[in-house]
Amino acid sequence: MQNFLYDIASKVKLRDGISSQKNPLKNLSCNMIEQAVKREKKAKGVIQVEWKDTRQFIDALARTGDLTVVEKEVHWDLEIGAIGRLACERQAPGLWFKRITDYPGCTVFMNPLATWRRVAIALGLAAGSSVKKIYREYEEREGRLIPPVTVSDGPCKEIVKRADQVDLFDLPAPMLHEGDGGRYIGTWDLVVSRDPAAGWVNWGIYRFMVYGARRLTGFPRPTSHLGKVFLDHYVPAARPMPIAIVIGADPLCHLAASATYRLGGDEAMLAGGLRGSGVEVVRCETSDLMVPATAEIVIEAEVLPDAVGLEGPYGEYPGYRTGEMGNGILCRVKAVTHRRDPILTIDATGYMDDSATITSMSGALAIKRRLERHGVPVVDVYVPPEGAVHAAVVAVSRCGPEVTRQILEILTSRRALLSKIFVVDSDVDPFDLGRVLHAFATKCHPVTGVHVVQYTGRANTLTPCYSQEERKRQAGGTVAFDCTWPPGWSREWEVPVKATFDSIFPETLQRKVTASGGET
């Protein structure tokens, strides 16, 4: 980093006609260096996102017509949830509720990244960017990690409440679905925690329900990073686990927190890479955890190692309420800090919600990288949001049952989040679900093309088709459909010719018809 700054400083001095000296950083203002860094990144094709918080992102959505401001009063009990759910299913603009019953001064921003248009805007791309373009941009930036920048203060500390000053019912946590176990304040959040042995910090999205004025209950799966660290390190030591529930950070921070990152991966650095600059972070009031400084709300708590609280049920991202009220982790809230007139960010959890779109990208890239590491001839991977992150399409350059079985084994050897995998030839665009369905219907042999593996202890317990007993044992299975031609078939006389425009006509005629706009 120091060498990079010296290089930038030297370029600034040369451009501005400042004489060279031994220390090129001397006499350079922060603004000069910042502007030079921006020019350098632009020259290298690096997009630097302009907004640093939820409020600036809301303004950006308003400029592109991707925001609906709801001025009429709405109730926190189901009404907000119903409006938000319908908006998700219609792929409508994001919602900013300005007047909440019983909560003057508080507003709610709902479904921040529930459409590809809003994901594109968050990444600084054109609103109409294709899904494939968004995927490619995410993949490129994911490889450029930028560390966070520590600051001494931030907007998230405009109001600080400790101990008896804290009352979670001061915030408009909604009852999102009829039949939910309670009011959920943590849906579009990022939860900061630390592994005490290795020292690495995790950002993840986990649901939290208000359980009292200073109590929360949550549902991190045992196989999640938060759940694993808590069970492996804090429970055996009978130590409370410090966490910080961050609500309404820069949307790219939440996108990073949703990433299906490897254990020990740094989501804060990923967020910096996604936005093109380091995320400003500030120390919590009651622990040494660092949180995004421009967040709307930060709830500082500790997970109790020797107590549980009732949690759920809850309508989850697969599009169903699959669980029952049960024992969740119990959190004691120690402090709440927030901005003046805080904006509570909420995901209208269910079919085609925020988690479906953002986990689509991170999940697909994680699958692609994992398959590449194992030598699978993978060309591309798509995780369609319509499949609630339970299905993936894998395009390969070399096909056959051995490849399909290898993919199945690799993707179920650890946490098994997928229950359906479609393996297609490289001439099938995995982002074109119509072509994928056609390949599945016409190329997957009903006897030899279906491969199944079963497992216990690592299944996704939110998979709707699993029984309650299977969920308790984390038991499940994954099926892979081989939608490719058998590798032994002759391309000349056994593989059927596609009856499509680009396959069954001479190229000269294709060019002629295309040039004429489809007219003869």
What pLDDT, on the 0 to 100 scale, is given for residue 46?
A: 60
Could you give phi then psi for residue 65, rounded to 5 degrees?
80, 20
Domain with CATH 2.30.110.10 in the chain: 139-346
190 by DSSP, 3-state: which? strand
Contact assessment for residue 202 and residue 193, using Cβ atoms and an 8 Å cutoff: yes
Residue type at 100 in one-letter notation: I
pLDDT in tens, 235-291: 999 999 999 999 999 999 999 999 876 666 799 999 999 999 999 999 999 999 999
Amino acid at position 10, single letter: S
Whole-angstrom Cα distance, residue 261 to residue 274? Answer: 14
pLDDT at 54: 98
Strands (E), 115-223: 149-150, 159-162, 184-186, 189-194, 201-204, 208-212, 215-218
> According to the model, what pLDDT value does residue 19 have?
39
CB 387 within 8 A of CB 460: no
As a CATH number, domain 139-346 is 2.30.110.10
374-483: CATH topology is: UbiD C-terminal domain-like (3.40.1670)
Ranges of CATH 3.40.1670.10 domains, the chain = 374-483
pLDDT attached to residue 322: 77
Q: Average pLDDT by consecutive 10-residue portion of the chain (520 residues)? A: 39 39 47 48 63 96 98 98 97 98 96 97 96 96 95 98 97 97 97 94 96 96 89 96 98 92 81 96 98 99 97 91 88 98 96 91 94 97 94 94 96 88 96 97 96 92 90 93 92 86 92 82
Please check whether residue 399 is in contact with residue 484, taking contact to mean a CB–CB distance below 8 angstroms. Answer: yes
Q: What is the pLDDT of residue 263?
A: 66
8 Å CB contact between 199 and 252: no
Nearest CA-CA partner of 410 in 430, 381, 439: 381
pLDDT tens-digit readout, 132-180: 999 999 999 998 999 999 999 999 999 999 999 999 999 999 999 999 9
**Which pTM was predicted?**
0.87
Q: What is the DSSP letter of 354?
A: H
Angle at 217 between CA 216 and CA 223, to 5 degrees: 135
Q: For 263-277, write each residue's pLDDT tens digit.
A: 667 999 999 999 999
Output the pLDDT for position 21: 44
Task: Please give the pLDDT value at position 264.
Answer: 66
Check residue 162 and give its pLDDT: 97
Tell me the per-residue pLDDT of 362-374, one tens digit each, with 9 for 90 and over: 999 999 999 999 9
Token pair of 458, please?
Answer: 């690592």
